[in-house]
Amino acid sequence: MLNQLRNIFGKRFTTNNTILERHGKDEAYHPVAPPDGVVFPETTEEIREIVILCSDNSIPMVPFGVGTSLEGGIGALSGGICIDFAKMKNILEINQLDMDCKVQAGVTRKELEGKLRDTGLFFPVDPGADATIGGMAATSASGTNAVRYGTMRNNVMGLTVVMANGEIIKTGGRARKSSAGYDLTRLFVGSEGTLGIISEITLKLYGNPPTISAAVCQFDNLENAVNSVIDSLLSGVPLARIELLDEVQMQACINFSKLHEFNPKPTLFFEFHGSDTEVIEQTKTIQDIMKEYGGSKFEWKNLPEERNRLWKARHNAYYASLSLKPGCLAWSSDVCVPITELANCIIESKEKLISMNLLAPLVGHVGDGNFHLLYLIDPDDANQLKKAKDHNKWMVEKAIELGGTCTGEHGIGYGKAEFLAKEAGSSIKFMKNIKNSFDPKGLLNPGKIFL
Amino acid sequence: MLNQLRNIFGKRFTTNNTILERHGKDEAYHPVAPPDGVVFPETTEEIREIVILCSDNSIPMVPFGVGTSLEGGIGALSGGICIDFAKMKNILEINQLDMDCKVQAGVTRKELEGKLRDTGLFFPVDPGADATIGGMAATSASGTNAVRYGTMRNNVMGLTVVMANGEIIKTGGRARKSSAGYDLTRLFVGSEGTLGIISEITLKLYGNPPTISAAVCQFDNLENAVNSVIDSLLSGVPLARIELLDEVQMQACINFSKLHEFNPKPTLFFEFHGSDTEVIEQTKTIQDIMKEYGGSKFEWKNLPEERNRLWKARHNAYYASLSLKPGCLAWSSDVCVPITELANCIIESKEKLISMNLLAPLVGHVGDGNFHLLYLIDPDDANQLKKAKDHNKWMVEKAIELGGTCTGEHGIGYGKAEFLAKEAGSSIKFMKNIKNSFDPKGLLNPGKIFL
C-alpha cells in the first residue's frame, strides 16, 4: 500500500521520520501521534485516489492543513496516511461583483488575503494563526471579528468533499441562501475530517470598509470591562472587534510587544468599520458606554501602522504569554457562554486559577461570550499539566451548566470528546449515526469527536 | 391506534372531515392530501407519546404549523397522523440582555412580535405569512430582511426535537457560537419534518434600530433596477430590505393597496436601519447609486403609518396579484441565483412568460438574488397549470445551471423533489443516508424532499 502511494505520488509521498513526527503534533499539549506516511495531493481527483487506496486497505486517513489545531485533531491516533494540503493552494475563482470566491483547501488565510488585496474585498474570519481555509472550515474556526462577520459556518457557501467511499460530492453553491434539502455544507463545517475530506471551499467575501478605526480602553476592574460589553451589544453598534485581555495578558503584551503606553489592567481592544460618519458615531456611542463602566479615555490607533501594531500584539498574545514563563508549554482553553454569564464565569475561573496556583493569561472574544485561558505549564512538572486539565474540566463543565459550550472555536479533536459527550447529551447518538452512515469503516480521522 | 389517541388526547384529537381536509392543503396548487387524524399536543412530552404510538404502529406523522407552506410539505401523502402545533404557543424564555428567546414551535411570527414589543428587541425573519416559528425553522424560511439579518439558519441557536424513536434531544444552545461536534441544529433547520419533530426553538434577537426609514425608487427599465442592487451591495451599506416588484406586480399593488402615488414600473422598496446619522448617510449613498441607474427620486415613507402601509402592500402582493385575474389560483415560484446572474435570469424568465402566454407578477428579495413569480392560473384550464409547471421547470433548471438553487426559501416539499435531485447531484445519496439513519421506518413526513 505504501509502495502503491510511492508509485503514484513519487516525491509527493514520504515516510521520512522527521516529517511524520511534524505531522503528528498540533500546537497544544497533545503527545506526538505520527502517521505512517504523508502524501501531498494537488487535486480533488488525487485525494479520491488516496481515499480509494486507503479504503480498500482499511487504512486510516487524517487530513492536515498547517498543524495549528489545538485539540489534537491532527494526531494519527491509529496511524495511517496523513493527507497534507500544502500543494493545494490554487485560488480557483474570485467573483468580485458577487463577492464570493472558491479556493483549494490548502490556501491559508494570509495567502487569500494577499490575493484579495486589489479587489476591494476581504475575507473576515481570522483565528489568529495563519491556518488553511480547509482546516478553518473543518474546525468551524472563528476569531476576533466573528462578533460582526460570523464564523466559518456563516461564511462557507459551498464545498467539494471526497467521501469515505471515494465519491466526490459538491454541497451548497453560489446562491446567497437556499432551502434545498439538508444543509450538508454546515454539517461538514466543524466535522474535523471525520465525515469526508474537504478539498475545495466557496467563501463569502465582504467589501473593505472605507474607514477602520481601532481604540483601546482600560479598566480597574475586570467585571466592569466585561459587563460594558453587554451594553455595547445592546446599543446595536456593529462592532467589528471587541477583545478582552486581562491584567496578566496585558502585562505579557506590554513586555513582549512593547505596548508601553498601557498599564497591566483589564483592557478592551476595539475595531470599528464603516464610513467616516458611521465610525465617528459608533465610537462616540461606545465611548459613552465605557465611561459609565469606569473605562479609561480611548487610546486611538487609527493610522494603519498603529492599528497593525495593536492587532499584531493581540495575535502575538500566545508568544507574549510564553515569555512570562520561559521554557514553558502553553495550552489554550476555549469556552463560550451566554454574555450575561461571562463576567461571573471569567471571575470564578480566575479565582480558581489562583487557588490552584496556576498561571494562565486570559484573552476573550467577549462580543460572542467566548474566552481563552492560556495555561502556562512547566514541561518537567507532570503535576502542573494535570492541574491545568483539572481546571479546564471544571471550567468547561461550568460553561455547559451556564447554557454555554465546551468549545467556541477550537473544535473537539480528542481533547474534548469527553466534554462533547456531556454537552450533546442524547443528541450525540444521532451524530454517531451520521458518522457511521458516511464512513462505515471508520477510516476518516478515527478517534476524533467521539469517545 | 386512533382510539388510543382519542383516549389520551380527548377533544384534542379529531377525525372530523373538514378539519382533516384543511390539514392536507397548503397555499399552493397541490391537491388536498388529508391525514387520517389530527392531534393537538401541548408539550414536547405529548409529542413523544404520539411519536411512540405512531412508530409502534408504523403510522406516518406530518407536523403542521398554520399551513402556509408552498411546496406541498404538509400533505399527508401516505395518510397518518397530523401533529398540529396550535396549542404549543408558550414563550418559554426571553433573555433580554443576552438577546435570545426560546419558544414552543406553535408560536407564530406575529405572536412573538407582540410579546417582544416592550423589550426593545425584535426577531427579524419575516417570510410575509404569519407562519409558526416551528414551520419557519423546518423550512429554513427567510423573507424581506434576510439581506441584513440572515435566514432561519442564521438565527436559530438551538432546538428541542422529538426523534422518530421517541427520544427527545436538544441541539445547540445559548452560546453565540460553538464548534462542538456536528451542527445538528442547522441540519434540522430546513429538514421539513423528515428527520425529527421540532418542538422548541431558541432564537437570536436584535435590538430595535433607533431609526427606520423606508423609500421607494422607480425605474423605466427592469435591468437597471436589478443591476443597481449589485452596486448597492458592494457599497457596504447594510440594507435592511431591498425588494423588487416588476411592472405587473406594481400595477396589481397600485390597484389593490391603493398605492396611487406610484406608476406601474419596475420598482425597488428599501428599508434602512440605524441611528439617525447612519440612516441619513446610508440613504444618501443608495440614492446616488440609484440615480446612476436612472432610478427616480426617492419617495420617502418615514412615518410609521406610511411605512406600515408600504410593507403591508408588499406583504399583500399575493392578494393583489389574485385581483388581476379574479377567480384564479396563484402559485409562487422561488429561485435564487448569484447576484450578477439575476438581471439576465429575471429578464429571460419574463420573456418566456410572454411567449407562453402566462400571467405572473414578480417580486424579488433582490439583495439575496432571490425572486418569485406568482403564476396566476385559471382553475378550470388544466393546460394553464401545465404551462406554469413547464415554465417553472425551465426557470429552476436555468437557476441551477447559473450556480443558483431551486429554492431560496420555500423548501422542497414534494413539489421540488425532482429539482433537488438535480441540484444536489451525488450528494443526495448522503442526505438519504442521514434520513435512513434517523428515521429507519420512514414515518416522518414521508414522500417529502426525496423522490
Mean of the pLDDT values across residues A182-203?
Answer: 98
Same domain, A175 and A102: yes
Check residue A212 and give its pLDDT: 96
| Chain B residue at shortest CA distance from A188 | B182
Share of chain A above pLDDT 70, in %: 100
Yes or no, beta carbons of A178 and B408 under 8 Å apart: yes
Count up the domains in chain A and report the number. 4
Same domain, B299 and B343: no
Give the one of B167, B416, B434 whose C-beta lies nearest to A437's C-beta.
Answer: B434
Check residue A364 and give its pLDDT: 96
Q: Which of B320, B353, B375 is the last residue of a domain?
A: B320
Q: Tell me how close the Cα of A265 comes to any Cα of chain B, in angstroms.
A: 26
Q: Tell me how close the Cα of A205 comes to any Cα of chain B, in angstroms.
A: 10
Check residue B54 and give its pLDDT: 98
Q: Tell me how close the Cα of A6 comes to any Cα of chain B, in angstroms.
A: 30
| Chain B residue at shortest CA distance from A434 | B434
Yes or no, beta carbons of B426 and A98 under 8 Å apart: no
Residue whose C-alpha is closest to residue B135's, from B178, B204, B193, B222: B193
Yes or no, beta carbons of B169 and A430 under 8 Å apart: yes
Same domain, A181 and A77: no
Yes or no: say if B3 and B9 are a contact pair by the CB < 8 Å rule.
no
Full domain range(s) for residue A416:
325-427
Yes or no, beta carbons of A182 and B167 under 8 Å apart: no
Q: Which residues of B touch A139 (CB under 8 A)?
A: 179
Check residue B29 and give its pLDDT: 84
pLDDT (tens, 9 = 90+) of chain B, 451 residues, equals 899 999 999 999 999 999 999 999 998 888 999 999 999 999 999 999 999 999 999 999 999 999 999 999 999 999 999 999 999 999 999 999 999 999 999 999 999 999 999 999 999 999 999 999 999 999 999 999 999 999 999 999 999 999 999 999 999 999 999 999 999 999 999 999 999 999 999 999 999 999 999 999 999 999 999 999 999 999 999 999 999 999 999 999 999 999 999 999 999 999 999 999 999 999 999 999 999 999 999 999 989 999 999 999 999 999 999 999 999 988 999 999 999 999 999 999 999 999 999 999 999 999 999 999 999 999 899 899 999 999 999 999 999 999 999 999 999 999 999 999 999 999 999 999 999 999 999 999 999 999 9
pTM of the model: 0.97
- The DSSP bridge partners found for residue A169 are A161
B325: three-class secondary structure by DSSP: coil
Roughly what angle, to the nearest 10 degrees, separates helices A428-438 and B428-438?
Answer: 140
Same domain, B192 and B98: yes
pLDDT digits (tens, 9 = 90+) for A218-240: 999 999 999 999 999 999 999 99
A285 is a domain residue: yes
A447 is a domain residue: no
A432 is a domain residue: no
Distances (CA, A) of B339 to A96, A181, B229, B232: 11, 22, 8, 11
Check residue A440 and give its pLDDT: 98
Same domain, A351 and A388: yes
Residue whose C-alpha is closest to residue B264's, from B242, B245, B285: B245
Show the CA angle centred on residue B139, arms to residues B133 and B143, nearest 5°: 75
* C-alpha torsion sign, points A237, A243, A246, A247: negative
Yes or no: say if B112 and B133 are a contact pair by the CB < 8 Å rule.
yes
Same domain, B299 and B401: no
Q: Tell me how close the Cα of A336 comes to any Cα of chain B, in angstroms.
A: 6
Check residue A28 and give its pLDDT: 86
Say which CATH number the domain at B345 has: 3.30.70.2740
pLDDT digits (tens, 9 = 90+) for A93-110: 999 999 999 999 999 999
Check residue B265 and give its pLDDT: 98
Categorize the per-residue pLDDT at A417 as very low, low, confident or very high, splitting at 50, 70 and 90: very high
Q: Which residues of B touch A97 (CB under 8 A)?
A: 230, 234, 339-340
Check residue A1 and give its pLDDT: 86
Q: Tell me how close the Cα of B375 comes to any Cα of chain A, in angstroms.
A: 21
Yes or no, beta carbons of B190 and A179 under 8 Å apart: yes
Check residue B444 and give its pLDDT: 98
Yes or no, beta carbons of A181 and B431 under 8 Å apart: yes
Q: Tell me how close the Cα of A327 comes to any Cα of chain B, in angstroms.
A: 31
A216 is a domain residue: yes
Report the alpha-carbon distance of residue B160 to residue B134 in Å, rounded.
11
Examine the pLDDT at A338 and tell me if it is beyond 90: yes
Report the alpha-carbon distance of residue B50 to residue B46 in Å, rounded.
6
Q: Which of B264, B285, B320 is the last residue of a domain?
A: B320
Same domain, B310 and B221: yes
To test the contact with chain A by mutation, choose from B177, B239, B416 the residue with the greatest count of A C-beta atoms within 10 A, namely B177
Report the alpha-carbon distance of residue B116 to residue B125 in Å, rounded.
14
Residue A31, Cβ density class (10 Å: 0-12 exposed, 13-18 middle, ≥19 buried): exposed
Same domain, B283 and B250: yes
Check residue B390 and give its pLDDT: 98
Non-local (6+) Cβ contacts of A323 within 8 A are: A252, A255, A256
Q: Starting from the edge strand earliest in sequence, which strands make up the sheet with B61-64, in order? A: B13-14, B37-39, B81-84, B61-64
A302: three-class secondary structure by DSSP: coil
User: φ, ψ for residue B434 (rounded to 5)?
Assistant: -65, -50
Q: Which residues of B touch A163 (CB under 8 A)?
A: 430
Distances (CA, A) of A88 to A42, A84, A104, A117, B127: 5, 9, 5, 20, 41
Give the one of B181, B236, B404 whose C-beta lies nearest to A207's C-beta.
Answer: B236
A333 is a domain residue: yes
B6 is a domain residue: no
Say which CATH number the domain at A98 has: 3.30.465.10
Same domain, A215 and A316: yes
Say which CATH number the domain at A291 has: 3.30.70.2190
Q: Which residues of B touch A277 (CB under 8 A)?
A: 277-278, 281
Could you tell me how many helices (H) and strands (E) chain A has, helices first? Answer: 17, 19
A448 is a domain residue: no
Q: Which of A84, A118, A139 is the last residue of a domain?
A: A84
Average pLDDT, chain A: 96
Give the one of A163, A177, A431 whose C-beta lies nearest to B181's C-beta.
Answer: A431
Yes or no, beta carbons of B175 and A338 under 8 Å apart: yes
Q: Tell me how close the Cα of B262 comes to any Cα of chain A, in angstroms.
A: 30
Yes or no, beta carbons of A438 and B416 under 8 Å apart: no
Same domain, A316 and A329: no
Give the one of A154, A404, A437 whose C-beta lies nearest to B437's C-beta.
Answer: A437
Q: Which residues of A touch B272 (CB under 8 A)?
A: none
Q: Report DSSP state, residue A201.
A: E
Yes or no: say if A334 and A70 are a contact pair by the CB < 8 Å rule.
yes
Q: Report DSSP state, residue A282.
A: H
Yes or no, beta carbons of A181 and B420 under 8 Å apart: yes
User: φ, ψ for residue B398 (rounded to 5)?
Assistant: -65, -45
Yes or no, beta carbons of B449 and A181 under 8 Å apart: yes
Non-local (6+) Cβ contacts of B76 within 8 A are: B23, B24, B33, B34, B35, B36, B60, B62, B82
Residue whose C-alpha is closest to residue B392's, from B409, B379, B373: B373
A168 is a domain residue: yes
Q: Which residues of B touch A174 (CB under 8 A)?
A: 338, 403-404
Give the ipTM of the model, two decimals please.
0.97
Say which CATH number the domain at A54 has: 3.30.43.10
B364: three-class secondary structure by DSSP: strand
Yes or no, beta carbons of B97 and A140 under 8 Å apart: no
At B64, list the grid cell: 403542521
Report the alpha-carbon distance of residue A253 to residue A256 in Å, rounded.
5
Give the one of B99, B174, B367 whose C-beta lies nearest to A233's C-beta.
Answer: B99
Examine the pLDDT at A29 and tell me if it is beyond 90: no
Same domain, A279 and A330: no
| Chain A residue at shortest CA distance from B142 | A177
At A349, list the grid cell: 475561573
Same domain, A29 and A120: no
